Amino acid sequence: MQTETFHIGIVGFGPKGLYSFERLLAYLNHFKVETQVNIHLFNESSSFVAGWVYHKDQPEYLLMNYPNQFISLQPTSKPSAVCEVLSFSEWLSEKQKESIKELDPKVSSRKTVGAYLSFYFEKFCNCLPNNVSVYKHIASVEDIKQKGDDFKLKTSTNVKLPLLNSIVITTGHTPSIRSKEEFFNAPNNIPFVYPIEKKLSVVNPQSTAILKGIGLTAIDAILGLTEGKNGKFKQKSNNEYSYLKSGNEPKIIYPYSRSGIPIIPRGENALNYEQTSFFLKDFIASQNFKPHSLDFETDVLPIIKQDIVGEFYNTLFQLHNVSYRQYEDFNGLNIRIEKFHKEHPEIEKFEAENLLAPTLALNVASFKNVYEFWTFWCLENEKAKSPYVAAASAWRYLSKEFNLLYSQQKLTKKSKQLFQTKYFGLFNKISYGPPLVNIKKMLALIEANILDFSFSESPTISKNTISNSNQSSIYDWLIDARLPRGFSNSKSVLFNSENSAKLFTTTKFSNTTHELHCTATGHPISKDGEPLKSIVLYGTPTENILFDNDTLSRTHNDTVSGWAKNIANNLSVTTQLISS
């Protein structure tokens, strides 16, 4: 119901919460809303907008995994923000007195990005219209109860709140998921690594640590266990690194994952690539697929592989001054590939499997294999143009097209879950890897005999032993270095608490996790099968239907612009009716 004051809650106030806040202010200003609007911001810590990923007090060595030029708080559509907003590079340029051209391709620390986000949050708060008030609550929201058209929130601090007329839920990745190793109840088990400097401080010197995950979070954790323990990376004349031990780091770190395949780094030259292969785009445009009709592995993955091969060979053809074009079908490209290799028999033929499932002979002579794998990718990334880097970049283009199939529910339910559990992480490891400097530091740790991949592929984990068919080792610390997906069905978190469970519907994602049902516009589906129009999910909570919710993207899966516009428009209309 409409009241004199309109109360809005934003639950989870990281970057997505900030974007929601900015769009809401912009639309309230655009529609000249005069109603009193109270905005309640809920965050688990005092680090509003930055959270644990971008908080301003974290170590400088924790870096972003993409260049400065892709970071911007600037709205990408009308209306304009309530105050002037600079892109991240523009903001940095003013602070550091460097040119934007120099800053754009560089990779910044996450704390610097946090400072940028915090700067504009404060600026937005200083630009509030007289009829808008903001209330910050350092608390977790534990339950949502529907009362008529409004909602009553229960928080961890039991703060007294008014009934909220509308809510944005943008809770992001939380440490609420339990990996099965937690059931060991081992005292030296760290189930979630952030904030790095706090969670890993307990790992004692010269211990043995095993690390679940070989992705971006694992890189952070490894740096936290070494550089964060006063170890020093020294840059050599050839831009490589050596590692000087402090004695405070673990004696040895064993990373592992299901596949054991390491993440691929991304260098500044990755910006030089543009999409040249469009088989998936043409496939999607070719016909109107029925819902739940496509099997990912048999219908979609083969087309993705065609584009990976296309990106590789289109770049290879350029390097050899061979003209290329977008072929009508993959057979046409294959004919050109065969002709090329007859003309250049010294060049090894490339298959998509070379990228998706490289043969590393994991768990055997692992020092050599992982070291050579990362060395190869560092060298390729330092080239002005590399067919291999072009192939690894393919998913960054294809994910936009794939999101159409995903969000429109074209995949069968079984193959959608297979994509989530098997391929989502694989593609991210290939296309969204860490900056080169971080992998060069990993190489230095391998040389220093601290980082060891002897158990990298699906080892057996017991209460204090890690093993495979070749060997075993006693470990002191078990560290889960992954970002969780979904939410726990075994803990009392927001979405499965007493009243929230009556409000939301969910899908079982795994034995321990669920995902929320929602519309493509982010409205959760109620138990009655109807969208809850007064609630909108943004980012991670929408992953049951929206794919690839990049934390800092303002355009990808934007569910809040429409929500903010509707609220402001409705309040404006109500004001006009009252006035008349």
- The predicted pLDDT at position 148 comes to 92
Check if the beta carbon of residue 264 is closer than 8 Å to that of residue 430.
yes
- What distance in Å separates the CA atoms of residue 277 and residue 305, rounded to the nearest whole number? 11
Burial 413-443 (b: 16+ CB within 10 A, else e): eebbbbbbeebbbbbbbbbbbbbbbbbbbbb
Give yes or no for residue 496 having a pLDDT over 80: no
Sheet bearing 252-256, strands edge to edge: 189-190, 477-480, 208-212, 252-256
Give yes or no for residue 486 having a pLDDT over 70: no
pLDDT band per the 50, 70, 90 thresholds, residue 179: very low
**Range in 133-137, 274-278, 286-290 with the lowest mean pLDDT:** 286-290
Of all residues in the chain, what percent carry a pLDDT higher than 70? 90
The residues with which 152 forms a beta bridge, in sequence order, are 145
Q: What are phi and psi of 138, to 5 degrees?
A: -85, 90
pLDDT band per the 50, 70, 90 thresholds, residue 282: very high
| Length reported for the chain | 580
- The predicted pLDDT at position 492 comes to 42
- The predicted pLDDT at position 579 comes to 56
- What distance in Å separates the CA atoms of residue 214 and residue 450, rounded to the nearest whole number? 15
What DSSP letter does each residue of 487-502 carry, written as one string?
EESSS--GGGSTTHHH
- The predicted pLDDT at position 488 comes to 53
- The predicted pLDDT at position 391 comes to 96
pLDDT band per the 50, 70, 90 thresholds, residue 578: low
Tens digits of residue pLDDT in 14-36: 999 999 999 999 999 999 999 99
The residue ranking higher by pLDDT, 498 or 311, is: 311
- The predicted pLDDT at position 487 comes to 53
pLDDT band per the 50, 70, 90 thresholds, residue 338: very high
Check if the beta carbon of residue 163 is closer than 8 Å to that of residue 1.
no
- The predicted pLDDT at position 393 comes to 95
**Range in 46-55, 153-162, 223-232, 378-387 with the lowest mean pLDDT:** 46-55
Query: 574: closest CA among 193, 34, 54?
Result: 34
Average pLDDT (223-239) is 95
Name the DSSP letter for residue 273: -
Give the end-to-end CA distance of the chain in Å, rounded to a whole number. Answer: 20
- The predicted pLDDT at position 180 comes to 43
- The predicted pLDDT at position 575 comes to 62
The residue ranking higher by pLDDT, 340 or 179, is: 340
Average pLDDT (361-382) is 77
pLDDT band per the 50, 70, 90 thresholds, residue 472: very high
Locate tokens 């309109």: which residue?
6
Tens digits of residue pLDDT in 118-137: 999 999 999 999 999 999 99
pTM, 2 dp: 0.90
The residues with which 233 forms a beta bridge, in sequence order, are 243
Tokens of 24: 């809401």
- The predicted pLDDT at position 2 comes to 45
Give yes or no for residue 397 having a pLDDT over 70: yes
Give yes or no for residue 497 having a pLDDT over 90: no
Tell me if the bond preceding 195 is cis, omega within 30° of 0. yes
Give yes or no for residue 573 having a pLDDT over 70: yes
pLDDT band per the 50, 70, 90 thresholds, residue 102: very high
Looking only at the bridges linking them, the beta strands covering 232-235 and 241-244 are: antiparallel
The residues with which 9 forms a beta bridge, in sequence order, are 40, 167
**Where does residue 234 rank: exposed (0-12), middle (13-18), buried (19+ CB within 10 A)?**
exposed
- The predicted pLDDT at position 178 comes to 46
- The predicted pLDDT at position 368 comes to 62
Average pLDDT (430-451) is 96
- What distance in Å separates the CA atoms of residue 102 and residue 111, rounded to the nearest whole number? 20
Mean pLDDT value across the chain: 89
Query: 450: closest CA among 300, 152, 227?
Result: 227
Q: Please give, one letter per residue, the 3-state secondary structure of 363-412.
A: CCCHHHHHHHHHHHHHHHHCCCCCHHHHHHHHHHHHHHHHHHHHHCCCEC
- What distance in Å separates the CA atoms of residue 322 and residue 213, rounded to the nearest whole number? 41
